[in-house]
Homo-oligomer: A and B are copies of this chain.
């Protein structure tokens, strides 16, 4: 049976989590992995309906993504998650559940993420139209000890992908 694992991307909105995970997917498939990406849109549509933006609801959401990723991983799938997942305690909970857990910190300063503002969310958060937005009026807790850091202010997407693949080879997952 193939070895499954979770690639847990974490980082601010606009840091590059989805971009890197989408570039990574074909590389993993080319190496024979089954891959599922649980990105923000998938999660909001299929897993998170009914949840709001309170601290408790956000924690529930991240735990739920972790649970589904774990179900996939233990059945041999490379489960990629690309939610902001701002709180270390919840990320650590998922890590405790899943032995093959790779935390990838997609790092970019708030200033850079806000200047990218791909989805226009920072503008809305600054205007007060979105409350509790990570980085603006809700904290982002940097991972103290991630397996991988992708510094998207300094690395290209290709460089980040290569770094991740190299780590997965070292870990024996691919």
Q: Is the CB of B67 within 8 A of A46?
A: yes
CA distance A50 to B49 in the complex (A): 9
Count residues of A near B (Cβ-Cβ below 8 Å). 19
Q: Is the CB of B34 within 8 A of A47?
A: no
Q: Is the CB of B68 within 8 A of A34?
A: no
Asked if A51 is at the interface (CB within 8 A of a chain B CB), the reply is yes
In the bound complex, residues from chain B placing their C-beta under 8 Å from that of A57 are 50
Asked if A130 is at the interface (CB within 8 A of a chain B CB), the reply is no
Residue in contact with A50 in the complex, picked from B46, B51, B67, B71, CB distance below 8 Å: B51
In the bound complex, residues from chain B placing their C-beta under 8 Å from that of A40 are none
Residues of A47-105 at the interface with B, using a CB-CB cut-off of 8 Å, are 47, 49-51, 57, 60, 63-64, 67-68, 71-72, 75-77
CA distance A51 to B60 in the complex (A): 12
Name the residue on B nearest A46 (C-beta): B67
In the bound complex, residues from chain B placing their C-beta under 8 Å from that of A68 are 47, 68, 71
In the bound complex, residues from chain B placing their C-beta under 8 Å from that of A46 are 63-64, 67
CA distance A51 to B63 in the complex (A): 15
Name the residue on B nearest A32 (C-beta): B1
Asked if A36 is at the interface (CB within 8 A of a chain B CB), the reply is yes
Given contacts A50-B50, A51-B50, A57-B50, contact A36 B67 (CB under 8 A): no
Residues of A112-169 at the interface with B, using a CB-CB cut-off of 8 Å, are none
